[in-house]
């Protein structure tokens, strides 16, 4: 699964946290923050799939896909269960691009539809909104480095 990301528009005061990735995490996953791990060296939070789409404390995984090995590119990057990864607290107006493959396509992933949390770590595309605590509208779908990417703009946070 592709994991490249583009941080199109992130506020200067954006809240970024380090989390321990739950199973099946990819860039664009939406998870709920758990306990702060005071005893680890990195200041991480536990994280899990949301128990409901109305959960408070949800964040989006948007971790850099840097590789220091020449034979790998950003699409070879994977997130293993328990890895320390970067997650952003959504704020209205922030824009990010994530791979279309990392979104459950309940509705077609296209401009004007919405990307919202589910009770799994994988975000979902829907044609209309419900009672979700966070939501992104798809501004456009583009190809970046040969990967179909959805440009998301946060509209509810």
Measured CA to CA, the distance from residue 48 to residue 45 in angstroms comes to 10
- What pLDDT score was predicted for residue 71? 63
Q: What angle do CA 71, 101, 70 make, to 5 degrees?
A: 10
Which candidate, 59, 154, 141, 60, places its Cα nearest to that of 100?
Answer: 141
pTM reported for the whole predicted model: 0.92
Q: Which range marks the domain in which residue 13 is found? A: 6-156
Is residue 130 situated within a structural domain?
A: yes
Provide block-wise average pLDDT over 10 residues at a time, the chain (157 residues). Answer: 86 95 96 91 92 96 77 73 95 97 96 97 97 98 93 97
Residue pair 125/114 in contact by the 8 Å Cβ criterion: yes
Is residue 135 situated within a structural domain?
A: yes
Measured CA to CA, the distance from residue 15 to residue 24 in angstroms comes to 23
Is residue 20 situated within a structural domain?
A: yes
Number of domains comprising the chain: 1
- What pLDDT score was predicted for residue 39? 80
Token pair listed for 137:
């509208």
Residue with tokens 């946070």: 157
Measured CA to CA, the distance from residue 79 to residue 64 in angstroms comes to 11
Is residue 1 situated within a structural domain?
A: no
Is residue 41 situated within a structural domain?
A: yes
Tally DSSP H helices, then E strands, for the chain.
0, 12
Is residue 81 situated within a structural domain?
A: yes
Which candidate, 121, 154, 155, places its Cα nearest to that of 10?
Answer: 154
3-class secondary-structure state, position 41:
coil
Is residue 127 situated within a structural domain?
A: yes
């Amino acid at each position: 699964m592709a994991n490249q990301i583009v941080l199109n528009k992130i506020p200067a005061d954006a809240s970024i946290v380090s989390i321990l990735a739950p199973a099946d995490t990819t860039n664009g996953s939406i998870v709920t923050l758990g306990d702060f791990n005071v005893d680890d060296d990195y200041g991480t939070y536990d994280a899990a799939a949301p128990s409901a789409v109305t959960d408070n404390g949800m964040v989006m995984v948007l971790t850099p896909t840097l590789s220091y090995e020449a034979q790998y590119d950003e699409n070879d990057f994977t997130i293993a269960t328990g890895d320390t990864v970067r997650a952003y607290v959504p704020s209205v107006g922030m824009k990010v691009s994530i791979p279309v493959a990392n979104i459950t396509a309940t509705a077609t992933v296209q401009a004007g539809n919405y990307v919202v949390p589910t009770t799994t770590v994988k975000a979902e595309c829907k044609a209309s909104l419900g009672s979700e605590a966070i939501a992104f509208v798809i501004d456009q779908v583009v190809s970046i480095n040969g990967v179909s990417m959805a440009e998301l703009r946060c509209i509810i946070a």
